[in-house]
Structure 1
């Protein structure tokens, strides 16, 4: 047990730090949107919700690179590891280009979804700026998956931290027009994110290309005539078979939060701004559990590839426990210091922000309650991913997030008119349902494996 906790933490701490640093981009963006007023934070929040939702879905698909590469490495097949990464990058291009076109026309999409015309127009300025960062965001996810599978998470952390610092600096310069540049406002935040995503992708690309220890994987050593070999086509579809349910599960969960965001957008700027503050804060703590989940996927995948069933079981339960513990600590902070958290986004002493601040504090109290189950469900899903079990978790997610979470939230928030409070209780109940069933699923699979 102690050995597995150590192995998990050695991989999870750098990955969680990288996830936290990358999420800090969204946190800093939201905080700096608040400097421009509640209308900007509401519009930027809508734009960020669309971009993040689509990015999470496609990165979920290409995240199959991590468990597949981990198992290929455990089987001592370095060239197959390289081909898995190559096909992951190809899928990123194939799926990413159409999404960039959708983002470029995001304002029209928001109008179709019933959002205010002024809010949609301001959000489109942000979306057109950040759209060009979508492709490097996908490529970054593939290269992170490769380095994680090879137990090289430290370089990911360094690249992401430096990219985040660049984003913060560029936000300030481009928002307010420093260094002789024009003041771009909300659009400047989008351009800063694009610059940050490109810088992180290029940094990891150069690192992998320049290191001799990665040469045996031959990731960047191929020619066009070898791209469509039978083995490459097999790997291409294998990534889709494993990754599509992962992306689907992420879409189901992220879609729940996105739909809630749109529903709150129809309730007014106050509800939307308070929701965006609470959601961005909860997202920051979630990144720690997500980093543990990524580490759990690699550990379970590696041990499963070595046919060590008892080790894979232990790795899964250790990951789930660490995920719950990390989120419990975050929940305590939300519960005890809600106004301090909100003050990071808005001036809580400004009377014009009073209603937003009070509602955000109430939403953070609900977030504090569901932190533990959120940590359990994401790490349980990571453990199942390591076993390449992705289809049933997708069905579980549809049931828990939409069948339980959204229906409950809609009933409380819209029908019973509890507004944002009711919708957030629906989120909590949906996450709790997912945590219970996904953990049960992992336990059942391990029992079946032991009986063979």
Structure 2
């Protein structure tokens, strides 16, 4: 293990004295997180690739089941991600805050496991929920069986999410890339064995894919445990010592900071789910074009999302050190990097939209003749969408570094649902814009959120956000 990723721990790094130092530290932290995020998208795509070869019913059932599972799983991971700003602030305040770091990790795991049990109870009623949503009974029944197995991946998925956050906060983000790569290999292998029944294994189809997800997430936890026990930089924290001992004040801190993050992620995930439903009310062709454009945007979004994760840690270190100059430099560097990349991706989408679309569908095929023009229109809006989506993601990340999560949650609720969904519904069904109007609504909502969060970041001193919290 000692030959693994060599990112220095925050304990070993001098405080940056200029923007170049900060950019170097941020990039070294964000790079592996971006790569891991992209690999995680590949893991999610494996089920679609395998089940798409089995049948339409199985693909539809897995799509419904995975959407519900991921929406709830990532909400809980959002809850536990509060550990990142807490750990960063502790290390910024005192470089060798081993005991404080350990209690944050322990309570994040406790809170995550407790929330996972609630999520598992919800997923156990997946068929009923889908029937209440007026889904096809055959799809709902298959999705219910799929979720009965997939729910077993909830606890390992959340635990892996916590350990990934902790590894990054302790200056070892490269392990996230390594472990996610392992999960991708496991997912492909077990899907190949169990979905199709290769190498003498039973042909389990949909259920085999669910088992593959359980195996890959459990493998991630096992890999992280091995890393934390053998990596010299991480082993010093003895993070699993006295794991049974409660630290209720720190658990309250995790919930206080993490609950707004969880709700923010739910609001955003539900917004895009709602947009897909609106598209479905317009037509099947619009749904297909929407899926292509959204997938392209989602791939590009992994860069500012990774920058935002790193920015939370960098700003958190500066916040813990009570260094306002460092806070400003860390935030400005992260915002410049995230928005700058999205500016480049927006220009690329404007200049060569057909090239991006051709990665998903054959743009010259007759059966796609109606989809391609719509996807081109949506992608033109997505280019603007890229800038504001990157801005709001990184702005939320730097504010989390200041342990500011409640007001950003309210901003997200207002921006996503009042402005975003409201505009999408009004333009999509009240004008001739149809699907393009829905995309304009999404861009409007993200624009509102980005403007308000950026204003809050700029007003941080006046709003008292630099004052230390009692954690």
TM-score over 0.5 for the pair: yes
1:72 aligns with 2:90: yes
Q: How big is the shift at 1:290?
A: 0.9
CA distance in structure 2 between the partners assigned to 1:423 and 1:132 by the alignment: 36
CA distance in structure 1 between the partners assigned to 2:355 and 2:339 by the alignment: 24
Query: Equivalences for 1:56-71 in 2 at 5 Å?
Result: 56-71=74-89
Relative to structure 1, is the Cα distance of residues 84 and 360 closer, same or farther in structure 2, using a 3 angstrom cutoff? same
Relative to structure 1, is the Cα distance of residues 332 and 259 closer, same or farther in structure 2, using a 3 angstrom cutoff? same
Relative to structure 1, is the Cα distance of residues 196 and 322 closer, same or farther in structure 2, using a 3 angstrom cutoff? same
Structure 2 residue aligned with 1:439: 454
Query: Equivalences for 1:104-183 in 2 at 5 Å?
Result: 104-183=124-203
Structure 2 residue aligned with 1:81: 101
1:23 aligns with 2:41: yes
Relative to structure 1, is the Cα distance of residues 23 and 393 closer, same or farther in structure 2, using a 3 angstrom cutoff? same
Structure 1 residue aligned with 2:7: none
Query: Equivalences for 1:14-413 in 2 at 5 Å?
Result: 14-35=32-53, 42-74=60-92, 75=94, 76-222=96-242, 224=244, 227-228=245-246, 232-267=247-282, 269-346=284-361, 351-352=366-367, 354-356=369-371, 358-413=373-428
Structure 1 residue aligned with 2:31: 13
CA contact (8 A) 2:460 2:466 kept: no
Q: Which blocks of at least 5 consecutive residues in structure 1 are unaligned? A: none
CA distance in structure 2 between the partners assigned to 1:171 and 1:362 by the alignment: 36
Query: Equivalences for 1:411-426 in 2 at 5 Å?
Result: 411-416=426-431, 418-426=433-441
CA contact (8 A) 1:103 1:128 kept: yes
Relative to structure 1, is the Cα distance of residues 388 and 46 closer, same or farther in structure 2, using a 3 angstrom cutoff? same
CA distance in structure 2 between the partners assigned to 1:409 and 1:36 by the alignment: 35
CA distance in structure 1 between the partners assigned to 2:50 and 2:360 by the alignment: 7
CA distance in structure 2 between the partners assigned to 1:415 and 1:187 by the alignment: 43
Q: How big is the shift at 1:68?
A: 0.4
Q: How big is the shift at 1:42?
A: 4.9
- Segment drifting more, 254-263 vs 327-336: 327-336
Aligned length, in residue pairs: 447
For 1:108-146, what per-residue CA distance to the aligned partner results, in whole angstroms no more than 9, with x for missing partners?
212212333344344434434432222111111111121
- Segment drifting more, 356-365 vs 85-94: 356-365
CA contact (8 A) 1:309 1:450 kept: no
CA contact (8 A) 2:170 2:234 kept: no
- Segment drifting more, 259-268 vs 157-166: 259-268
For 1:149-200, what per-residue CA distance to the aligned partner results, in whole angstroms no more than 9, with x for missing partners?
1111111111112212322333344333322334444444433333222211
CA contact (8 A) 2:116 2:158 kept: yes
Q: How big is the shift at 1:277?
A: 3.6
CA distance in structure 1 between the partners assigned to 2:248 and 2:29 by the alignment: 31
For 1:330-352, what per-residue CA distance to the aligned partner results, in whole angstroms no more than 9, with x for missing partners?
33444455455445445656655
For 1:257-307, what per-residue CA distance to the aligned partner results, in whole angstroms no more than 9, with x for missing partners?
122233444555544444334333322221221110011000000011111
Q: How big is the shift at 1:426?
A: 1.3
CA distance in structure 1 between the partners assigned to 2:363 and 2:138 by the alignment: 25
CA distance in structure 1 between the partners assigned to 2:366 and 2:200 by the alignment: 34
SS at match of 2:459: helix
CA distance in structure 1 between the partners assigned to 2:466 and 2:241 by the alignment: 44
Structure 2 residue aligned with 1:428: 443
Q: Which runs of 4+ in 1 moved over 6 A?
A: none
Q: How big is the shift at 1:55?
A: 1.7
Structure 1 residue aligned with 2:13: none
SS at match of 1:217: coil
CA distance in structure 1 between the partners assigned to 2:291 and 2:65 by the alignment: 11
CA contact (8 A) 1:31 1:346 kept: no
For 1:79-126, what per-residue CA distance to the aligned partner results, in whole angstroms no more than 9, with x for missing partners?
110111011111111000121232233232122123333443444344
SS at match of 1:176: coil
Q: How big is the shift at 1:206?
A: 1.6
TM superposition score normalised by structure 2: 0.86
SS at match of 2:134: coil
SS at match of 2:214: helix
CA distance in structure 1 between the partners assigned to 2:158 and 2:250 by the alignment: 18
Q: How big is the shift at 1:414?
A: 3.3
Relative to structure 1, is the Cα distance of residues 166 and 342 closer, same or farther in structure 2, using a 3 angstrom cutoff? farther
TM superposition score normalised by structure 1: 0.90
CA distance in structure 2 between the partners assigned to 1:35 and 1:342 by the alignment: 22
CA contact (8 A) 2:32 2:177 kept: yes
